[in-house]
Amino acid sequence: MHIGKVELRETGRGEWRDYWHPGISAEGFVGRERELQQMREALDGAGVARIQSLGGLGGIGKTKLAVAFASVFADRYDGKVFYDFQSYTPGSPPHDADQALMQILPTIDSQLQAIEVERMSPEGRLSAWRGRTAGRRLLIVWDNVKHAAQLEGLLFRDQPGCATIITSRDLIALDSATRPLMLDALEPEAATALFTEIAGKEHPSREVEQLVKWDHHLPVLIEMHAQQVRYGERSLAEIIGDLTAEPDLDTREVIFARFDGSYAHLTDDQRFTLRVFGAHAGTTPTAASLAAALGCDVTETHALMNALIRTGFVRRHFHDPEVDDPGMRAYTAHDTVRLYAAHRARAEGDFDAARAELVRYSRNLAGRYFHFGAPLVDVEFDNQRDLALAGTTRKYALLAEITGLRAYALGRYGDGETLNRHAAQVFEEVGDQAGLARAMHGLAEVMRGRDEYEKAIRYFERAGDLFGDVGDLSGKALAVQGLAHIDRVRGLFEKAESSFEYAAGVFGDLGERDRHAHAVWGLGDVALMLGRHRAARYYFEEAAQEYEITGNARGLGHSIQGLGRVALDLRDFDLAIALFTRSGEIYESIGHDLGRAFSLQGLGGVESGQGEHRNAVVYLTQAEAIHRAAGSRRELADVLRELARATSACGDHGTARGHLREAIAIYSQLGRGEDAQAASALLDET
């Protein structure tokens, strides 16, 4: 029986690892000595946690100052975190605390895996954050925050030695004791030093002083002009000749006017490229996506983007890890520049057309790279998610729907929920009942993946009703099948069997072989759990035949593995070895590591059944390593129990007890009381 929801209870924590992804470094930082000193004094803990917010115009250097502070005073802290809430990214909603924790938690604790964090509730993630950060002297930078509500639950107010820096263009009112440090433009000497750091020191000092003055001593403008001089795109004299005195720097329009001067010197192709870049909803557009909107090949796109790098508008973004595909090389820019580029795209009528091409590219990519473990998924996923969430028409809802499916397949349940909710809202607003039904089904699958079964049931039932209203028998059967899986896990085998039979009948009548095979596989799994081995074998064989016809290697592997479990139950060890070996080979051929882990567990079970416990340990240890790498905690606990039995049978009782203690801790974290009790009973016997 499943007990409770997936939550994290504090049973220990792994080694700390910094989450530090500012996108820029402290290299080239100049000036701001007074501000650094003010921050040092404000953040000097003296036994309490301290918070300092940095305010000011976009492009004035708030993030650079925060990163520089971390570089200078890093030795005062034993860990650090940097997270960009992207509140000022054009076309994208600001991030919230829960989105931040889904990204941060799997990095900062070596024992937490992404899929485990995704399965937690928001309250569970906050609990994990508090548990993982307790007792540490940490430096935290929350970048680009618009509202204090985005930081709810994240701030340290009573943890000695901790320092929090918040950057914002808005006045963040936390409490009366937290006074923002408002940044002004650079001092003239620092502005000059910033220019020469990038462009070199060989330029006439009078011209440099004039340029930085007319750039209002603003870092984002100085850096752009210095980059142009450095690469010989424009001379210092040419830039000065194009500039005119402007009023005090107090509006975005003044900054845009300066950008206009650089924009005017781009070629027509470069201008169009910048406008397409501005229309892109993602913060790190890839060359392939830009090429699709530009109507050229990837090589030409790289040439155009490199030209924009030389003019200071954009810079390269390096993924970790990088992929070899040239189309996946990515670019980014200061959010003020992205706002300007989007402004130009709208002003010159390119925005909607570019967005339409980007949506088309993203939907095509989803079809081409949907298979398990595709390396391009992680590179493009965030861009496609941001794009899907940026629009409120049906085409964006369709993209959100398919991207939500991909998120679910990757175990990114938070993104899956966000995307399906957006799709559902848009489909409902435009009156697309069929689309709404699919989005409800997507939400149900996300909740099932999180083990939030009560929510999943409500969504499956809602999806089933909607599919019925529009006469979609296949969709209704899918919803019933989803309910069957929940009943199967909960031990309601007769109810699950009835639902799988209904789904199999509908899919069979409609000639949908792949879906029919999955329903039949469900019948086989239920039959096996009920000890009906003859029926289970029949169902698994039928599913295998269907999957072989449809070319679904993953489903074929599942079915052959099911037959292996039947053979193992019947102690037909030779047949079980052949079946588990075959399923493992299939999984390996498609890169499905989790499937291969279950096949290895099957082989371990065969060896244990034959009394070859040392061989069983070898297979089970390999399965353990795969589950650890994948972050599949529930499955890891199960294999640890099997390992404990095998190692104990080998006489290594100390190792067996260690495996059981870890399994008990994981089961407790996941709220699986009966499994924890069973492992505890085995521990008492070992």
3 state DSSP class of 654: helix
Distance CA(591)–CA(552), nearest Å, equals 14
Q: What is the pTM of this model?
A: 0.81
Contact between 340 and 256 under an 8 Å Cβ cutoff? The reply is yes
DSSP string, 319-352: -SS--S-GGG-EEE--HHHHHHHHHHHHHTT-HH
Environment class of residue 621 by beta-carbon count within 10 Å: exposed (0-12), middle (13-18) or buried (19+)? middle
Average pLDDT estimate for 129-147: 90
Share the mean pLDDT of the chain.
Answer: 88
pLDDT at 375 over 60: no
| Tens digits of residue pLDDT in 389-430 | 999 999 999 999 999 988 887 778 889 999 999 999 999 999
Give whole-number Cα distances, 212 to 89, 201, 240, 253, 623, in Å: 26, 14, 10, 18, 61
For residue 370, the model assigns a pLDDT of 44
Assess whether pLDDT exceeds 80 at residue 478.
Answer: yes
How would DSSP label each residue in 560-577?
Answer: HHHHHHHHHHTT-HHHHH
Whether the pLDDT of residue 432 is over 90: the answer is yes
Taking 70 as the threshold, does the pLDDT of residue 1 lie above it? no
Of 546 and 450, the structure prediction assigns the larger pLDDT to 546
pLDDT tens string 656-686: 999 999 889 888 876 677 788 888 888 888 7
β partners of residue 166 = 53, 142
* Percent of the chain with pLDDT strictly greater than 90: 59
Lowest-pLDDT range of 245-249, 462-466, 485-489: 245-249
Measured between its terminal Cα atoms, the distance across the chain in Å is 25
Q: Which residues contact 173 (CB under 8 A, 6 or more apart)?
A: 148
Highest averaged pLDDT of the listed ranges 51-55, 251-255, 303-307: 303-307
Q: Is the separation of the CB atoms in 59 and 256 below 8 Å?
A: no
Q: Which of 234, 236, 231 is nearest to 264 (CA)?
A: 234
Confidence of residue 25 (pLDDT cuts 50, 70, 90): confident
User: Has residue 609 got a pLDDT over 80?
Assistant: yes
Q: Identify the residue with better confidence: 243 or 638.
A: 638
Number of H helices and E strands in the chain, helices first, is: 31, 8
Percent helix, strand and coil across the chain, each to the nearest 5: 65, 5, 30
Average pLDDT over residues 306-320: 90
Token pair listed for 84: 């960009």
Read off the pLDDT band of 368 (50, 70, 90).
low
What is the predicted pLDDT for the residue at 13?
60
Report the alpha-carbon angle 662-665-668, nearest 5. 150
Q: Which residue has the higher pLDDT, 330 or 373?
A: 330
* 3-state secondary structure at position 29: coil
Contact indicator for 249, 266 with CB cutoff of 8 Å: no
Residue 547, pLDDT score: 95
Residue 445, CA atoms < 13 Å, CB-side half-sphere: 23
Cα 431 from Cα 427, distance rounded (Å): 6
The DSSP symbol for 75 reads: G
Residue range 66-96, pLDDT digits in tens: 999 999 988 888 899 999 998 887 767 789 9
Segment 169-205, tens digit of pLDDT? 887 767 655 678 888 889 999 999 999 999 999 999 9
Q: What residues form DSSP beta bridges with 143? A: 84
Q: What are phi and psi of 264, to 5 degrees?
A: -65, -25
197 and 28 in contact (C-beta within 8 Å)? yes
Identify the three-state secondary structure at position 411: coil
For residue 371, pLDDT beyond 60: no
Between CA 273 and CA 668 the distance in angstroms is: 54
pLDDT value at residue 456: 95
